[in-house]
Chain A
Amino acid sequence: MITKLDPGKIAQLLTQSTRQMDAGALSALIDARQNALKRQSVRSPVFALAPASAHTSARWTDRLMPHSAQPWIAAGLLAAILVAGTSFWHHAQEQQISELDVAILTGDLPIEVFVD
């Protein structure tokens, strides 16, 4: 028969158990935990949508979209930002050029003045 365990109760039991442990085992566990955390922080991806330490926020992003799709979504967002920025800059440049061309083509000085 499988009994349903309350996660809160499990945590409480574990806390009680750690209090009963001897100092040597406890310090060894603390060291192991610190080492594991250090390794985890090194391995955390640079372009992760959610920070590695924020377990709660990581959970909702995992639920919202599959973990494998996250780099593609991040890549899509970055690509969209790059394209939007480039096209805005290009549009502004072209508008400036067409205004200059109109000024040269309609100005009171002949274009020969500006052409070598």
Chain B
Amino acid sequence: MRGFVIAVFLLLLCLTSTGAGAQSWRALTPAQREALAPLVQEWDTLPELQRQRLLGTAKHYSQMTPEQKQRYNSRLEKWSRLTPEQRKAARKKYRAFNKLPEKERERIKQMLKEEQARKEEQARKAQQPASGVSAAPVTNQQ
């Protein structure tokens, strides 16, 4: 019985150790490089599991609309900088959000859009007096 357990363990060890490692940037296909272009600088330093998961997302790149591609490219860098725990929590939240009724989701989206617009407006207003101040010395010099 002990011999049998050892045999199973040894065979499992042999079978599991043959898994393929993550690819370096040079080993990526042109399609993968195109999808993951925002990560060209840090790709080879990323952990193996993260690289495998990013390659998993890159598989969908060719089927994305131009708008989705633009979002994917702009968010990829930030996404890869998150900690594994943050990404895990984000997936959990996304799942929970998706379980909400359609009306509720739309209400939240609308609320977020309004908040975003308000923030942008505040930022614009905050920039206006600053640009006025910086413009003043120029007019004085003239």
Contact = CB atoms under 8 A, between A and B. Distances in A.
- Interface of A, secondary structure class, is helix
Interface residues of B, number: 39
A95 B55 CA distance: 11
A45 to B, nearest CB: 8
A71 B91 contact: no
Interface string B98-135: 10000000000100100010000000000000000000
A72 interface: yes
Given A101-B57, A115-B90, A108 B109 contact: yes
Contacts of A79: 7-8, 11-12, 15
A96 to B, nearest CB: 9
B26 interface: no
A108 B12 CA distance: 44
B84 to A, nearest CB: 11
Given A79-B11, A114-B97, A97 B53 contact: yes
A79 B60 CA distance: 34
B82 interface: yes
Given A97-B91, A104-B79, A104-B91, A78 B71 contact: no
B86 interface: yes
Given A74-B4, A105-B71, A114 B82 contact: no
Contact of A109 (B7, B64, B72, B109): B109
A111 interface: yes
A107 to B, nearest CB: 8
Nearest to B76: A105
B28 to A, nearest CB: 16
Contacts of B98: 103
B4 A75 contact: yes
Contact of B112 (A78, A80, A100, A109): A109
A72 B79 contact: no
